[in-house]
C-alpha cells in the first residue's frame, strides 16, 4: 500500500497542483472554447469579465505544476517535455494569445473581432495540446538511459487525439457551468444549453477514453480488472455515472451552483482514475516517482515552505474570488 514518504507526499502535491490547474484554468479555457457561440459585443464581454480578475491566478497553477515537477521530479520533467515538445510549444503559444486577449480586446475596439478569435483559438489550442500531452504520457514514452529516445512526432496517435478532444470537451463543460453561475438573462440560458451538450459530449468521450486506456498497457488492465481490486476500482465508474446523472438533473432544474460543483466532481473522479492507472509511475512502465525524485534535501526544503505557504495562497485566492463573487453586472454584486 501507499507509504507516506517524502516522495509520495510530493507526488500528491504535484497531483494537487495539476488538478487545481486543470479545473481552474479549465473553466477559463472552456469559456474561450465556447466564446464564438456567444453573440458579438456585450455577451462576449460579460463572458470574459466573468474570469478577467482571476484568470492570472488560475494560470499560475500551471507554472507551479511545471516548476514543481522540475523541482521535485526533475527526471520526469526532463523526459516528458522533450517527448511532447511540439505540444508544449503549441500550448505555450496558445496561452500567449489567450492571455493577451484579456487586455488587448479592450484596448483596440476596431480589432475586437481579431482578439475574440485569438481568445478562442488560443484557448482551443492550449486545451487540445494539454489533452494530448495527457494521452502521450498514458501511452508510454520511449526512454534510453535518463533521456527521451523517441522521435519528435511519437505523441501523435489516434489515442492522443481522443484524449485531446476529451479534455477540450471537459473544459467546455467546466466553462459553461461556470458561466451559468455568473451570467444573467439570455447568455445565462445559452450557458445552460451549452452545459447540457458539453456534458453529453464529455460523457461519450470519457467512455471512449476509459475503454481505450486499459488496452494500451497490460498493467492498466490488471490495475482496473484484477480481483479483488475491481471491488474498489469499479466504484470510480459507478460514482462517475451517478455524478453525470445528477449533473443532468441539476442542469434541467437550472440550479445555479450545483452543475459547476458536479463538473468539478467529474474531474476529481477523472483524476482518481488517472491515479489508479498510473501509480506509482510518472512515465508509465519506465519511471516511478522514486526514480524521478529530486534529492531528499530538495524535497524536504520545499515541503517546509509549501506547508506554510500553500494554505496562505488558498486563503487569498479564495478572498479574490469572494471579492468578485456573484453574477456579473447585477445589483446584488456590489
Site for other proteins in 295-314 (CB under 8 A): 295, 297-298, 301-302, 305-306, 309-310, 313
Cβ of residue 333: shortest distance to other proteins, in angstroms?
8
Residue 60 is a binding residue for other proteins (CB under 8 A): yes
Near other proteins in 30-49, by CB under 8 A: 41-42, 45-46, 49
**Backbone φ and ψ of 280, nearest 5°:** -100, 30
Q: Are 52 and 105 in contact (CB under 8 A)?
A: no
Residue 66 is a binding residue for other proteins (CB under 8 A): yes
How far apart are alpha carbons 62 and 65 in whole angstroms?
5
Near other proteins in 165-194, by CB under 8 A: none
Q: 207 vs 302, which CB is nearer to other proteins?
A: 302
Residues 6+ apart with CB under 8 A from 58: 21, 24, 25, 28, 51
Compute the Cα dihedral for 89, 93, 98, 103 and give only its sign.
positive
Residue 320 is a binding residue for other proteins (CB under 8 A): yes
Number of residues that bind other proteins (CB under 8 A): 74
SS3 208: helix
Residue 230 is a binding residue for other proteins (CB under 8 A): no
Which whole-number Å values give the CA distances from 81 to 74, 124, 215, 280, in the listed order?
11, 20, 25, 19
**Backbone φ and ψ of 67, nearest 5°:** -65, -40
The single residue among 12, 16, 104, 212 that binds other proteins, judged by CB under 8 A, is 104
Q: 222 vs 330, which CB is nearer to other proteins?
A: 330
SS3 66: helix
The single residue among 18, 33, 34, 95 that binds other proteins, judged by CB under 8 A, is 95
The single residue among 11, 22, 23, 62 that binds other proteins, judged by CB under 8 A, is 62
Query: Which among 31-39, 159-167, 191-199, 316-324 is the span making contact with other proteins, rule CB under 8 A?
Result: 316-324
Near other proteins in 192-221, by CB under 8 A: none
Cell of 294: 529530486
Q: 226 vs 296, which CB is nearer to other proteins?
A: 296
Q: Are 59 and 94 in contact (CB under 8 A)?
A: no
Amino acid at each position: 500500500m501507499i507509504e507516506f514518504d517524502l516522495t509520495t507526499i510530493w507526488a500528491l502535491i504535484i497531483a494537487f497542483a495539476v488538478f487545481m490547474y486543470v479545473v481552474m484554468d479549465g473553466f477559463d479555457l472552456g469559456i474561450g472554447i465556447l466564446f464564438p457561440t456567444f453573440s458579438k459585443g456585450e455577451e462576449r464581454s460579460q463572458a470574459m469579465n466573468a474570469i478577467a480578475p482571476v484568470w492570472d491566478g488560475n494560470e499560475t497553477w500551471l507554472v507551479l505544476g511545471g516548476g514543481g515537477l522540475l523541482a521535485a521530479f526533475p527526471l520526469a520533467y526532463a523526459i516528458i517535455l522533450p517527448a511532447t515538445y511540439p505540444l508544449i510549444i503549441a500550448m505555450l503559444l496558445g496561452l500567449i494569445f489567450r492571455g493577451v486577449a484579456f487586455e488587448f480586446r479592450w484596448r483596440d475596439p476596431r480589432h475586437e473581432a481579431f482578439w475574440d478569435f485569438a481568445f478562442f483559438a488560443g484557448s482551443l489550442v492550449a486545451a487540445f495540446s494539454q489533452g494530448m500531452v495527457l494521452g502521450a504520457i498514458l501511452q508510454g514514452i520511449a526512454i534510453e538511459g535518463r533521456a527521451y529516445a523517441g522521435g519528435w512526432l511519437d505523441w501523435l496517435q489516434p489515442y492522443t487525439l481522443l484524449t485531446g478532444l476529451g479534455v477540450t470537451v471537459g473544459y467546455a463543460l467546466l466553462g459553461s457551468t461556470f458561466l451559468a453561475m455568473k451570467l444573467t438573462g439570455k447568455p445565462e440560458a445559452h450557458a445552460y444549453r451549452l452545459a447540457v451538450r458539453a456534458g453529453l459530449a464529455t460523457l461519450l468521450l470519457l467512455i471512449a477514453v476509459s475503454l481505450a486506456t486499459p488496452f494500451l498497457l497490460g498493467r492498466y488492465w490488471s490495475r482496473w480488472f484484477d480481483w479483488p481490486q475491481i471491488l474498489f476500482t469499479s466504484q470510480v465508474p459507478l460514482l462517475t455515472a451517478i455524478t453525470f446523472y445528477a449533473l443532468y438533473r441539476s442542469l434541467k432544474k437550472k440550479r445555479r451552483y450545483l452543475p459547476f460543483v458536479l463538473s468539478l466532481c467529474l474531474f476529481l473522479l477523472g483524476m482518481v482514475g488517472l491515479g489508479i492507472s498510473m501509480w506509482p509511475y510518472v512515465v508509465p512502465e519506465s519511471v516511478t516517482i522514486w526514480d524521478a525524485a529530486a534529492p531528499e534535501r530538495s524535497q524536504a526544503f520545499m515541503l517546509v515552505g509549501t506547508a506554510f505557504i500553500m494554505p496562505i495562497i488558498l486563503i487569498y485566492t479564495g478572498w479574490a474570488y469572494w471579492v468578485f463573487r456573484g453574477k456579473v453586472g447585477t445589483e446584488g454584486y456590489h
